[in-house]
């Protein structure tokens, strides 16, 4: 009987700790209209890979969108958009960083894009 109680308590503790470790996640589709080629896709993926809290991402070159899932305790949608902008690409309403945009290869630049100027 004593072993049964200890086993039950241990099992209960493990179940409680599993539920306590669950993280809430969120998902969004971000428009990345300035993306032009495979190099652009690669640069955005590299920027997202560095961001803490991102659990999954898919950059779609044809649709010019980036689908991202993240842990809400570690990051948020604005940080993710900023990471994409800091790589030199527009992300929804966040304009590309001017310095990063200038460093992009010529094939990645759109002639009608106006990057955000740093203050």
> Within its chain, how far is the Cα of 65 from the centroid?
12
pLDDT tier at 15, thresholds 50, 70, 90: low
| pLDDT over 70 (residue 94) | yes
Q: Kindly state whether residue 47 falls inside one of the protein's structural domains.
A: yes
CB burial string 60-89: b at 16+ within 10 A, e below:
eeeebbbebebeeeebebeebbbbbbebbb
Number of domains comprising the chain: 1
According to DSSP, the residues that pair with 56 across neighbouring strands are 69
Q: Kindly state whether residue 78 falls inside one of the protein's structural domains.
A: yes
Q: What is the CATH number of the domain that holds 41?
A: 3.30.70.100
Range(s) of the domain holding residue 40: 24-108
What are the helix (H) ranges across 1-119? 2-20, 38-50, 77-86, 98-103
Q: Kindly state whether residue 8 falls inside one of the protein's structural domains.
A: no
Other C-beta atoms within 10 Å of 111: how many?
4
Write down the pTM of the prediction: 0.75
Q: What is the SS3 assignment for 66?
A: strand
pLDDT tens sequence across 25-84? 889 999 999 998 999 999 999 999 988 899 999 999 999 999 999 998 889 999 999 999
Q: Kindly state whether residue 86 falls inside one of the protein's structural domains.
A: yes
Q: Kindly state whether residue 65 falls inside one of the protein's structural domains.
A: yes
In angstroms, the CA 118 to CA 90 distance is 15
Q: Kindly state whether residue 88 falls inside one of the protein's structural domains.
A: yes
Q: Which pLDDT does position 76 carry in this prediction?
A: 92
Structure tokens at 99: 């310095």
Q: Which pLDDT does position 86 carry in this prediction?
A: 94
| pLDDT over 80 (residue 6) | no
Q: Kindly state whether residue 59 falls inside one of the protein's structural domains.
A: yes
Instruction: Please tell me the chain's helix, strand, coil percentages from 3-state DSSP, rounded to the nearest 5.
Output: 45, 20, 35
Q: Which pLDDT does position 50 carry in this prediction?
A: 87
Q: Kindly state whether residue 16 falls inside one of the protein's structural domains.
A: no
């Amino acid at each position: 009987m004593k072993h049964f109680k200890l086993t039950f308590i241990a099992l209960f503790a493990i179940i409680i700790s599993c539920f306590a470790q669950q993280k809430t996640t969120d998902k969004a589709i971000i428009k990345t209209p300035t993306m032009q080629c495979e190099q652009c896709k690669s640069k955005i993926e590299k920027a997202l890979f560095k961001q803490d809290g991102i659990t999954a991402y898919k950059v779609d070159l044809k649709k010019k969108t980036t689908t991202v899932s993240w842990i809400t305790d570690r990051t948020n949608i604005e940080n993710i958009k900023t990471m994409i902008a800091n790589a030199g690409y527009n992300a929804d309403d966040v304009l590309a960083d001017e310095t990063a945009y200038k460093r992009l290869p010529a094939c990645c630049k759109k002639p009608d894009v106006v990057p955000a100027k740093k203050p």
